[in-house]
Amino acid sequence: MPAIPPAIRNLIVRLKQQSEKLQSFKLPAFKKSGAKKSGSGRSGSGRSEPEFDRSELDETGYVRSDFGFNIERDDYSQESADSEPADSTEPGLFDRLKDLPRPPRWVLIGGAGTAVVVLAGLWIWASAPRPRENNNEIVLAVPPEAQETNAPAWEAMVDEGGADANLIERGPSGPLPIISADGRNSWQVYARPFDLGDHSPRIAVVIGGLGLRATETQAAIDTLPPAVTLSFNAYTPGLISWVARARHAGHEVLIGVPMGSVSYPQDDPGPQTLLTSLTPRQNLDRLEFVMGRAVAYVGVTNVSGSRFTASREEFKPILEAIKGRGLLYLEHRASSHSIGPAVANDLSLMHAIEDQAIDDEPTRAAIDRNLGELEKTARHNGIAVGMGDASYPITLTRLAAWIGTLEKKGLALAPITAVIRETVDRKDSVR
């Protein structure tokens, strides 16, 4: 039988002591005296009146008590002319209790409070989870996330996601992308076909925040043209299935990597956030957790990260790992102090940079104005990248209308792999 917690045991001891104290309480003593015979009918009844034992009284005329309060009693007198005849037998327990005064309020409140504390403590002790003993073996509770029976096995994830087995290795948190033995990269193998001979200014549109809201996610997959790139939240339930749906509809896919901002932890992107307070190895473990959540995606992008992307010491190992796994990196402009593009150039990492936020103000007028700025950037630089959020229905509505005008304007809607930059002989080139 499990041991009783010390707090409960102490309460029980205190209650027992109070009970013993109550049992030792002395009731006023009565003694029989001989009946006085007289001619009155009252005394001629043959009964003797109980005489109050005054030895129990203190000097103030109160009954002594061990409980810190006194019990006032009437001054019984055997010779009282108007006293009622009393029974010759000693009063019973019930009669004595009736004569006792009502205890002070603090006693009642204290007793009730003690009872409540005892009952609450017993309930907490009884309901607390405990390890089960089985043949001297302790069986600990399994975390909820480890109890998922519908999570696909590693091989099932690869098959369901339509991944190339040569671009996958088994990782501690799931399948991780690798560069194949013949040198192929995920950003190349899973890229959407695009006519690189088309020299029209290219605009890549990336819609993020997908996965956590099923309705908005399905709407983005179904309503947006296949050339629009979709970015999924790493914590999405059933992420492998959502990525497979998006790719089946023709979209390229990115996975969002949560990174710490200057307002962290008030702005908290989740439990696997990369932080400047962690060691490089810890941050790489978290990156691998994110990358192991899905397969057949072309790259990753930062979610938040105004502090993390500004730290070369912490950010460079992450970008090296992204390059080493054959992925591209899309820089979401979380801060003007980000060293991401500069380090990506130094590493010859395939990358792209957000030029324009589409829905930083989610109104029709503001979105249309931002799309106009995106066009100007594409004409000036040859490429442009705009990023929006699927949680705003107005974003999808305005995008659908705007995309239909691009061909007449001499602009090309391109997947993200068609606008990535790489450094060749220290010169940027558009692929």
pLDDT value at residue 97? 59
Q: How many CB atoms are closer than 10 A to CB 385?
A: 26
Residues of the chain with pLDDT under 50: 29-52, 56-57, 60-88, 130-151, 422-431
Q: At what angle do helices 364-381 and 393-403 cross, to 10 degrees?
A: 50
> Are 331 and 395 found together in one domain?
yes
Q: Is residue 139 part of a domain?
A: no
How many Å apart are CA 257 and CA 299, to the nearest integer? 10
pLDDT value at residue 140? 32
- Give the closest residue to 40 by CA, choosing from 83, 75, 74, 77: 83
> Are 324 and 265 found together in one domain?
yes
Q: How many helices (H) and strands (E) does the chain have?
A: 12, 19
> Are 70 and 199 found together in one domain?
no
Q: 226 near 409, Cβ under 8 Å?
A: no
- Give the closest residue to 300 by CA, choosing from 308, 292, 291: 291
How many Å apart are CA 407 and CA 126, to the nearest integer? 71
pLDDT value at residue 24? 59
pTM tops 0.85: no
- Give the closest residue to 22 by CA, choosing from 73, 70, 66, 71: 66
Q: 260 near 275, Cβ under 8 Å?
A: yes
- For position 204, which CATH number holds? 3.20.20.370
pLDDT value at residue 160? 78
Q: Is residue 136 part of a domain?
A: no
Based on the structure, what is the number of domains in the chain?
A: 2
Q: Is residue 137 part of a domain?
A: no
pLDDT value at residue 362? 94
> Are 191 and 70 found together in one domain?
no
Q: Is residue 134 part of a domain?
A: no
Q: Is residue 141 part of a domain?
A: no
3-state helix, strand, coil in the chain (%, to 5): 35, 20, 45
> Are 246 and 307 found together in one domain?
yes
Give how far Cα 346 sits from Cα of 342, 349, 422, Å. 6, 8, 10
Amino acid 330 reads: L
Segments forming the whole domain that contains residue 75: 6-127
> Are 158 and 299 found together in one domain?
yes
Q: Is residue 294 part of a domain?
A: yes
pLDDT value at residue 39? 44
Q: Is residue 133 part of a domain?
A: no
pLDDT value at residue 129? 53
> Are 217 and 103 found together in one domain?
no
Q: Of the residues 81, 108, 127, which one is the last residue of a structural domain?
A: 127
Q: Is residue 276 part of a domain?
A: yes
How many Å apart are CA 51 and CA 220, to the nearest integer? 98
- Give the closest residue to 50 by CA, choosing from 84, 27, 82, 25: 84
pLDDT value at residue 142? 32
Q: Dihedrals φ, ψ of 249, to 5°?
A: -85, 0
- Give the closest residue to 397 by CA, choosing from 429, 358, 425: 358
> Are 266 and 210 found together in one domain?
yes
> Are 182 and 64 found together in one domain?
no
pLDDT value at residue 159? 77
> Are 14 and 96 found together in one domain?
yes
